[in-house]
A and B are shown apart, each in its own frame.
Chain A
Amino acid sequence: MRPLDWAVLVGSLASIIAYGLYRGRGSNTVDRYLLAGKSMPWYAMALSIMATQASAITFISTTGQSYVDGMRFVQFYFGMPLAMVALSATAVPIFHRAKVYTAYQYLENRFDAKTRALASLIFLMQRGLSVGLTFYAPAIVLSVIFGWPDRLTTLIIGVTVVLYTVTGGIRTVTWTDVQQMMIILFGLVVALVMIVLLLPRQITFLDAVHLAGSAGKLNAVTFHFDWNDRYNLWSGLIGGMFLALSYFGCDQSQVQRYLTGKSIAQSKLSLLFTAMAKIPMQFFILFIGAMVFVFYIFEPAPMVFQRIEYNRIQQPELRARYEPIAARYQDAYDRRKAGALAIVEARHSGDTRAESEAIANYRRAQRDVDTARREGARLVEATGGEKGFRDTNYIFLSFVTKYLPSGIVGLVIAVILAATMSSSSGEINSLATVSVVDIYKRHFRKQGSDRHYLTASRVATAFWGAYAVAFAGLGKHLGSLIEAVNIVGSLFYGSLLGVFVLAFFFKRVTGTGAFVGMIAGEAAIFAAFLFTGISFLWYNVIGCVVVIATGMAVSYVLRPASATPGTAR
């Protein structure tokens, strides 16, 4: 990092803190602190929802995912608009009319206290695990690339986020999210423009797109269905819809965003806008990863992008195992570059036969590059590296720090830190809200003053910030971070979704039925996770279906003899 990078980075972060503190003025009641006094316009909520969802992991890991696996990850988001429509028509008006602070508060109105408590605890476990990952992602990557101590980076981000979140509550979180989203979008556009400008002179933008496509990196839609395949059209539409229903309908970190709306209509608009903007944004981020792939066709790319592990496997004691792999990698790399240049030449001259031959050679070389990279990863793993080692999270930042000019590096790092702050502030704020409203106020101190609960909310916010920093190291063992976050979410979301579906649509289901259903749903999800190879996107479907079926069965079996429709408890 050069002085200009530091100036851009520090300037960006200082402006976020100052703006957050300015916007948080007047958050002096529980209603204002947790729900912004229900004063937010739709565009602020929409950008806040998007910013909360777009963490540093989105930029670090999604671009790397595209480099390695192509753009098919975008299908993961295809179910989101369907989910947003369903939620706008059901959950948004129901939550608003119930005048609740949290989604789980509604479950007590509908069922009973134990169902609310179980749902709250599931949320606290799931989100508590994820918030640590949110901090860990940038810290570990920056530690490898710049040598910054990961614990110190985590601590600095954590203290910054806690400072403005504790002070201003949800109003600060929402408005800083808006500002952070602007920085993120600007940084993304700059990054793509820079990559295209850095391509060799004879490679046009269209050539670059063709090269990415010929290597299978632009596979945005795949129809092939396989239960064990994570990303195809069907798992995206169905599994992705269930995940989005769970995330936006049952996860307090998202529900709290649209509960701050001025009206039901404003909250609906915020969700629908998010639904429409998310797929193009993810497409754009993945496309950046595909262009980084093309850039590295013409520039020397390390066999392993994680610098510390790459240096380690080149040590003299491992040289006998490393060198044959490195030789195969270099040979395949050179053939791929020659193939790419041949494709471009054939394209420019209009020679379709030569182009077909060049594409075949290029693809063969690409397969060999992939094989050598996998062998390199296995060598890392077999010689003391982490189990399941992958370097996906290091690809984009390795490119940024090595090739982008002074000032832009600082901007990209600011984007990554801004994304971390926007996600973690929302998560910490929602964890504090559930801790105070659903646990502390409901079970420990029912009759406190507004001032007391405001103080409790601030203390809980500080606690969850400290917890997130303390547990940030958990991500070290989880491979691709973007997948890790979604897998952790999918372990819990299905049963949460199931209980809300029961609450909204099944009038005869009782509190005990819902409670037992949630436990059965969690058991089914963990059984699928531990004993089958079913892709994680289906866990939400499995959990939801098991909760509904069990909830209905238990309610039917335990129904009182005199029960009448709509009065069961």
Chain B
Amino acid sequence: MPPDPRAMPDEPPPFLGTWRRVYTAVIVYLALLIALCYAFTRAFS
């Protein structure tokens, strides 16, 4: 069975306070990259 999640506590991230915020930042970054790639495609096609 999956190990007890309390057995090895997770550390907080070194920035943004919580992992949830770090994950959100990565997804926002992805959305930004896709938007930039789309703008790049449009600008030079």
Among A88, A89, A110, A219, which residue has its beta carbon within 8 angstroms of that of B2?
A: A110
**Residues B27 and A283 in contact, CB atoms below 8 Å apart:** no
**Residues B12 and A216 in contact, CB atoms below 8 Å apart:** no
A81-B30, A94-B2 known; A213 vs B44 contact (CB < 8 Å): yes
Question: Cβ of A210: which chain B residues have Cβ within 8 Å of it?
Answer: 44
Question: Cβ of B10: which chain A residues have Cβ within 8 Å of it?
Answer: 93, 264-265
- Check A250 for interface membership: any CB of B closer than 8 A: no
**Residues B8 and A220 in contact, CB atoms below 8 Å apart:** no
A-B contact pairs, 15 of them (CB 8 A): A78-B30, A82-B30, A85-B23, A94-B3, A97-B3, A109-B3, A213-B44, A220-B38, A220-B40, A221-B37, A233-B34, A265-B14, A268-B13, A279-B30, A503-B2
**Residues A504 and B26 in contact, CB atoms below 8 Å apart:** no
**Residues B37 and A283 in contact, CB atoms below 8 Å apart:** yes
Name the distance in Å between B27's Cβ and chain A's nearest Cβ.
6
Q: Which 3 A-B pairs have the closest CB atoms?
A: A213-B44, A265-B11, A220-B37
Which of B2, B38, B40 neighbours the largest number of chain A CB atoms within 10 Å of its CB? B2
**Residues A220 and B26 in contact, CB atoms below 8 Å apart:** no
A213-B45, A216-B45 known; A221 vs B8 contact (CB < 8 Å): no
**Residues A221 and B34 in contact, CB atoms below 8 Å apart:** yes
Name the distance in Å between B22's Cβ and chain A's nearest Cβ.
7
Question: Cβ of B13: which chain A residues have Cβ within 8 Å of it?
Answer: 265, 268-269
A265-B10, A265-B13 known; A214 vs B45 contact (CB < 8 Å): yes
Tally of contacts, chain A with chain B, CB under 8 A: 89
Point out residues on B near A: beta carbons under 8 Å. Answer: 1-5, 7-8, 10-14, 19, 22-23, 26-27, 29-30, 33-34, 37-38, 40-41, 43-45
Among A84, A93, A209, A212, which residue has its beta carbon within 8 angstroms of that of B26?
A: A84
**Residues A272 and B30 in contact, CB atoms below 8 Å apart:** no
* CA A385 to CA B11, docked complex, whole Å: 57
**Residues B30 and A96 in contact, CB atoms below 8 Å apart:** no
**Residues B41 and A272 in contact, CB atoms below 8 Å apart:** no
* CA A109 to CA B3, docked complex, whole Å: 9
**Residues B1 and A74 in contact, CB atoms below 8 Å apart:** no
Question: Cβ of B12: which chain A residues have Cβ within 8 Å of it?
Answer: 265
- Check A405 for interface membership: any CB of B closer than 8 A: no
Point out residues on A near B: beta carbons under 8 Å. Answer: 74, 78, 81-82, 84-85, 88-89, 93-94, 96-98, 109-110, 209-210, 212-214, 216, 218-222, 233, 263-265, 268-269, 272, 275-276, 279-280, 283, 503-504, 507, 566
* CA A94 to CA B29, docked complex, whole Å: 26
A283-B37, A507-B1 known; A85 vs B44 contact (CB < 8 Å): no
Name the distance in Å between A506's Cβ and chain B's nearest Cβ.
11
**Residues A272 and B26 in contact, CB atoms below 8 Å apart:** yes
Contacts A219-B41, A566-B1 given; 4 further ones with Cβ under 8 A?
Answer: A78-B34, A97-B5, A272-B26, A276-B26
Question: Cβ of B44: which chain A residues have Cβ within 8 Å of it?
Answer: 209-210, 212-214, 218
* CA A233 to CA B34, docked complex, whole Å: 9
**Residues B29 and A218 in contact, CB atoms below 8 Å apart:** no
Q: Residue on B with the closest CB to A96?
A: B8
**Residues A268 and B19 in contact, CB atoms below 8 Å apart:** yes
Q: Residue on A with the closest CB to B6?
A: A97
Q: Residue on A with the closest CB to B13?
A: A265
Name the distance in Å between B32's Cβ and chain A's nearest Cβ.
11
A78-B34, A269-B13 known; A97 vs B27 contact (CB < 8 Å): no
Name the distance in Å between A275's Cβ and chain B's nearest Cβ.
6
A209-B44, A265-B11 known; A74 vs B37 contact (CB < 8 Å): yes
* CA A74 to CA B43, docked complex, whole Å: 17
**Residues A276 and B29 in contact, CB atoms below 8 Å apart:** yes
Question: Cβ of A269: which chain B residues have Cβ within 8 Å of it?
Answer: 13-14
**Residues A93 and B23 in contact, CB atoms below 8 Å apart:** no
Which of B14, B30, B43 neighbours the largest number of chain A CB atoms within 10 Å of its CB? B30
* CA A275 to CA B14, docked complex, whole Å: 17
A94-B2, A110-B1, A220-B38 known; A275 vs B26 contact (CB < 8 Å): yes
A81-B27, A269-B13 known; A218 vs B19 contact (CB < 8 Å): no
Name the distance in Å between A379's Cβ and chain B's nearest Cβ.
32
Name the distance in Å between A221's Cβ and chain B's nearest Cβ.
4
* CA A381 to CA B11, docked complex, whole Å: 58
Question: Cβ of B38: which chain A residues have Cβ within 8 Å of it?
Answer: 220-221
